[in-house]
């Protein structure tokens, strides 16, 4: 598998220099145009390989609607003219922006997003120091 070395900083207010990057998994662990879950301490993080667009995203794995560890198993896609990347929870199809974490159905749910960086076939997630 050929992988580029890319930075995929998803929307976050934390300046890049204040982030600590950890190696979450290998690129091939995450299916093309899909997601998978990794554990980091007690945290569960969903990582999405949006291969169609050459983009990577990461969010919390917990769907805030019914508090289910499920977002990594959701389908990804795009919404609207701007093609906002999104994920749909497999439980009740609540959709969330992968950029902002906002619930696209207009409900007051919000999920946390993380910046992603790809180096030498490995996936790194940035968390605040």
Partner 1 sequence: MSSSTLKPTVVVVGNGMVGHKFCEKLMARSSTFKIVIFGEEPRPAYDRVHLSEYFNGKTAADLSLSMAGWFGDQDIELHLGDPVQEIDRVHKTVRSLKGLVQPYDFLVLATGSSAFVPDIPGIEKEGVFVYRTIEDLELIRGYAPHAASGAVMGGGLLGLEAAKALLDLGLPDPHVIEFASRLMPRQIDSAGSHLLESRLKKLGLQIHLNKTTLAIEGEGRIEALQFADESRLKVDMLVVSAGIRPRDELARLAGLQVGTRGGILVNERLQTSDKDIYAIGECALAGGMIYGLVAPGYEMADIVAANLAEGSKSFKGFDMSTKLKLIGVDVASFGDPFIAEPDCRTIVFEDRYHGIYKRINISGDGKYLLGGILIGDASAYNLLLQTVNNRMSLPADPGDLILGYRSGAPEGAGAMDLPDEALVCSCESVSKGDICKAVTEQAADTIDGMKKCTKAGTGCGGCIPLVKDLITGTLKASGRYIKNVLCEHFDHSRQELYDLVRINEVRTYDEVLGRYGKGDGCEICKPAVASILAACWNDVILKQATIQDSNDRYLANIQKGGTYSVVPRIPGGEITPDKLIVLGKVAKKYRLYTKITGGQRIDLFGAHVGDLPDIWEELIAAGFESGHAYGKALRTVKSCVGSTWCRFGLHDSVSFAIEVEERYRGIRAPHKIKGGVSGCVRECAEAQSKDFGIIATEKGWNLFVCGNGGARPQHAQLLATDIDKETCLRYLDRLLIFYIRTADPLTRTATWLNKMEGGMSYLKNVIINDSLGMNAQWEREMQALVDSYHCEWKEVVESPELRRGFTHFVNAPRKKDPHIAFEQMRDQVRAKEW
Residues 6+ positions from 10 with CB-CB distance below 8 Å: 57, 58, 98, 99, 113, 114, 115, 116
Q: According to CB under 8 A, which one of 6, 7, 54, 83 is a site residue for partner 1?
A: 83
Give the three-class secondary structure for 66: coil
Query: What is the C-alpha separation between 26 and 121, in angstroms, rounded?
Result: 6
CB of 67 to partner 1, least distance (A): 6
Q: Positive or negative CA dihedral for 48, 39, 25, 70?
A: negative
Q: According to CB under 8 A, which one of 1, 2, 41, 80 is a site residue for partner 1?
A: 80
Of 7-15, 44-52, 107-115: span binding partner 1 (CB under 8 A): 44-52
Residue ranges that bind partner 1, judged by CB under 8 A: 24-25, 29-39, 44, 50, 52-53, 62, 66-70, 73-80, 83, 85-86, 88, 90-91, 93, 95
């Amino acid at each position: 598998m050929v992988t580029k070395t890319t930075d995929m900083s998803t929307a976050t207010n934390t300046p890049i220099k204040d982030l600590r990057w950890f190696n979450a998994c290998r690129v091939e662990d995450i299916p093309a145009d899909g997601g998978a879950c990794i554990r980091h301490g007690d945290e569960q993080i969903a990582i999405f390989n949006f291969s169609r667009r050459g983009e990577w995203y990461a969010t919390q794995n917990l769907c805030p609607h019914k508090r289910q560890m499920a977002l990594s198993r959701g389908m990804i896609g795009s919404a609207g003219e701007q093609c906002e990347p999104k994920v749909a929870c497999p439980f009740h199809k609540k959709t969330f922006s992968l950029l902002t974490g906002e619930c696209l159905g207009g409900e007051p749910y919000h999920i946390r997003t993380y910046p992603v960086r790809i180096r030498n076939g490995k996936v790194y997630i940035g968390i605040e120091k």
